[in-house]
Structure 1
């Protein structure tokens, strides 16, 4: 009788061990699949990040901040960030009542104001303007003088028309 109890106990323990082994094996396989899918996703994200970095570098190519030759023109001035200073001076032209004086159009919905500015180098700026409904772009020449005044000259402009 005692031998049978031990036999049943041994069989029961073997079945429990077999169940635990099979269950653990399937969990390990699922874990390996998750790890491999996460590694693949990680690689895709790294590739996407590299592509994004290259695009950002391309976009920054025409930028005063990344143009050491153009920044050398302002070495003698005590400006920590010439780009920000010039952009601020250009945005100050928006403070005048009515349309911005650099924009050669009259606002149709409200006054045309400069919204976005890209300083290309030590001489040129591209700017976006809008009145809330209509928009356009400006190509501006500027000169930052030794007394920190800035002269802006409009070189070219365009106004987008609505097609509806």
Structure 2
């Protein structure tokens, strides 16, 4: 009789313990699935935002790439060369930057920081002297000697906020 009662209690204990473990696992799995679904939605939203932000970028502009390729240029070499040409303008002597129409207000050199090539004709870049910031809008072309020529179209400097 004692053996029967002990066995029954042991079986009940095992059943309750197993049920609690299974319930905890189901709760963890449901929580994990909800987290995965939420993160999937966040990833999709970020991918959409990234696509929208990179819309005006030569890397996503197949017409601009086709334009260069029809001219016989290798875009894998040309696009970095366009950026490199602007960054090389940061190495200048004197106070006047070759393309930025402002003079540094802090005594340091003005430098171009970030460049975005929009298409086969336009570039947007920002510049700074470390304290003041601005942006320039340029056009560029490749002349008959295969040299890049930049032309400043529009520019501005942000006012310093105190």
TM > 0.5: yes
Give me the CA root mean square deviation.
1.5
Shift of 1:125: 0.5
Q: Flag the 1:90–1:20 CA change in 2: closer, same or farther, 3 A.
A: same
The TM-score normalised by the length of structure 2 is: 0.90
Give CA-to-partner distance per residue, 1:94-118, whole Å, 9 cap, x none.
Answer: 1223453111111122111000000
The alignment status of 1:100 with 2:114, answered yes or no, reads no
The alignment status of 1:90 with 2:86, answered yes or no, reads yes
Shift of 1:82: 2.7
Partner Cα distance (1:35, 1:123) in 2? 53
The TM-score normalised by the length of structure 1 is: 0.89
Partner Cα distance (1:64, 1:82) in 2? 11
Partner Cα distance (1:116, 1:132) in 2? 14
Query: Are the aligned partners of 2:114 and 2:126 in contact in 1 as well (CA < 8 Å)?
Result: yes
Query: Are the aligned partners of 1:115 and 1:128 in contact in 2 as well (CA < 8 Å)?
Result: yes
Shift of 1:79: 4.2
Residues paired across the two proteins, number: 158
Unaligned runs of 5+ in 1: 1-6
Give CA-to-partner distance per residue, 1:7-44, whole Å, 9 cap, x none.
Answer: 21221122122111111111111111111111111011
Give CA-to-partner distance per residue, 1:50-93, whole Å, 9 cap, x none.
Answer: 11111111112111111111112211123424322211111111
Counterpart residue number, 1:145: 143
Q: Flag the 1:67–1:16 CA change in 2: closer, same or farther, 3 A.
A: same
Counterpart residue number, 1:57: 51
Unaligned runs of 5+ in 2: none
